[in-house]
Amino acid sequence: MKRGVCARRTIAGRPFALQERLVHNTPRLLQQASGREVQPPDGDGWFLVDLSAHVAGSVKERTVRVRLGQAAPYPLGLRIPLRWVAADAQALFPTFEGAIEIEDADVNRLTVALVGSYEPPGGLVGAALDRTVLATAAEESVERLLTGLVQELSDTAQEPEIDPTVVEQLSVADVMTPNPFLLDASMSLRTGANLLLQQQISGAPVVDPEGHIVGVLSESDLLDKVAPIRYGLTQDTVKSWRNHAATTVGMACSRPAHTTQSSTPLRDAAKVMAAKRIRRLVVMEGGALVGILTKRDVVKALLRADAELAAAVDAVLHDSRFKGLRGQVADGVVHVTGVTHRRSRLVELEERLDTIDGVIGVITSDVASNLDDLGSVGRSDQESDTPASMR
């Protein structure tokens, strides 16, 4: 009988960069995490990893042969299939089937999980071992291996401190979902619908045989296939006729795909999505498809860590025009204190701080000024406890 095991850790850093390191260096990182000398996989893709756990009051080690599958997107992020077996074929040691799952915790953290199940050795001896030691040992082995993996990934992620002047505004690349699930234009519509359900996504880019983006198939496109045919001469009605008659993904998908570049400021992309009332943008880097930006991804801008927001706020306050002012960030809200020569400087400061992606509000009511050049109306507005970005 198979038994499930799961371990999960969160690591600080830029999620996309951490993910790239893990995907491209998984065998090396796993070997280093287990304390084993790094060796390249053999011709069949197997490599050795040492597992350890407490058994009968002492730490026992066992060498396993590990093999990885192709990294592929899943609804919450990216999954790397993983399997291991005892290096000694005669050893009574459980086989593990699972995956390393990677997902963004927020714009500054990545969550890595080792999820799967192990199958105890067969027979009465295997069953007895499972009841006595294997269950605990399997869970501890997974926990230890993942802890080591995250530590190794953390050690390789040492980057220079973020320059606050370049992180006031996020780009699409900072929050997009990389390596999106793709559908072939020639695929049957039933297969396309089935894949959307299996992947638990509401839409996916559609590509032609050459890999060029041709459109996006969404749940909205599939509704017309199920709903009664509509009548009229509007653009939406004409589109519903086409979808009702579609038999392939390419025939039913919305064309052309709405796209954006990975370097586009996030707020500009969000503006397009709001104005056109669309749920996703296909992200391009030059002519290559590199990701997809959904409404859920855009919301990540609101989850920037207070420490990162504080760094961006400090960069703004280093401007000589705002000398004498200090800022603290709590739950995304910037609270400005200190003394300014002209109160009108606060208007400019609020506008600057409001442009920092992730800032929820700005409070300046505790700032004193040497010269109130706003007049009574401006003063009343400035001394309100309502955050500036909410007024």
Give strand ranges (E) for 258-316. 259-261, 280-285, 288-294
Rounded to whole angstroms, the Cα distance separating 37 from 56 reads 27
Asked whether residue 167 is assigned to any structural domain, the reply reads no
Last residue of a domain, one of 274, 294, 314: 294
Same domain, 100 and 145: yes
CB 272 within 8 A of CB 258: yes
Residue 220: Cβ-neighbour burial (10 angstroms; 0-12, 13-18, 19+): middle
Identify the pLDDT of residue 260.
94
CATH code of the domain containing 214: 3.10.580.10
Rounded to whole angstroms, the Cα distance separating 206 from 216 reads 5
What's the number of domains the chain is made of?
3
- What SS3 state is found at 54? strand
Rounded to whole angstroms, the Cα distance separating 295 from 175 reads 11
Same domain, 286 and 357: no
Give strand ranges (E) for 21-76. 46-55, 58-68, 72-74
Range of the domain at 342: 304-390
Same domain, 216 and 90: no
Question: What torsion, rounded to 10 degrees, do the Cα atoms 29, 24, 295, 230 define?
Answer: -130
Asked whether residue 140 is assigned to any structural domain, the reply reads yes
Contacts of 336 (CB under 8 A, 6+ apart): 325, 326, 327, 346, 349, 353, 362, 363, 364, 366, 367
Same domain, 149 and 38: yes
Burial 268-289 (b: 16+ CB within 10 A, else e): ebbeebeeeebbbbbbbeeeeb
Rounded to whole angstroms, the Cα distance separating 302 from 305 reads 9
Written as tens digits, the pLDDT of the chain (391 aa) is 677 888 999 988 777 778 878 888 899 999 999 888 889 899 889 999 998 876 656 667 888 899 999 888 877 778 999 998 888 765 666 788 999 999 876 667 789 999 998 776 555 545 555 555 566 777 888 888 999 999 888 876 554 444 444 467 889 998 999 989 999 999 999 999 999 998 889 899 999 988 899 999 998 888 877 766 666 666 666 667 676 788 899 998 988 999 999 999 998 999 999 998 899 999 999 888 999 999 989 988 888 888 889 888 988 888 777 878 999 999 999 999 998 878 888 888 999 999 899 999 999 989 888 777 766 444 434 444 444 444 4
Same domain, 363 and 258: no
- What SS3 state is found at 385? coil
**Beta strand 3-12 with 58-68: parallel, antiparallel or unpaired?**
unpaired
Count of helix runs (H) and strand runs (E) in the chain: 14, 17
Same domain, 108 and 242: no
Last residue of a domain, one of 294, 317, 350: 294
Burial 112-133 (b: 16+ CB within 10 A, else e): bbbbbbbebbeeeebeebbeee
Identify the pLDDT of residue 377.
40
> What would the two tokens of residue 84 be?
């291991």
CATH code of the domain containing 28: 3.30.530.20
Same domain, 282 and 309: no
- What SS3 state is found at 17? helix
Please choose, from the candidates 245, 273, 244, 251, the residue with its C-alpha nearest in 3D space to the C-alpha of residue 260.
273
CB 225 within 8 A of CB 254: no
Same domain, 86 and 231: no
Asked whether residue 245 is assigned to any structural domain, the reply reads yes
Can you spell out the DSSP letters for 110-137?
Answer: EEEEEEEEEEPPSHHHHHHHIIIIIHHH
pTM: 0.51
Identify the pLDDT of residue 386.
44
CATH code of the domain containing 322: 3.30.1340.30
Residue in the block written with tokens 């002047």: 165
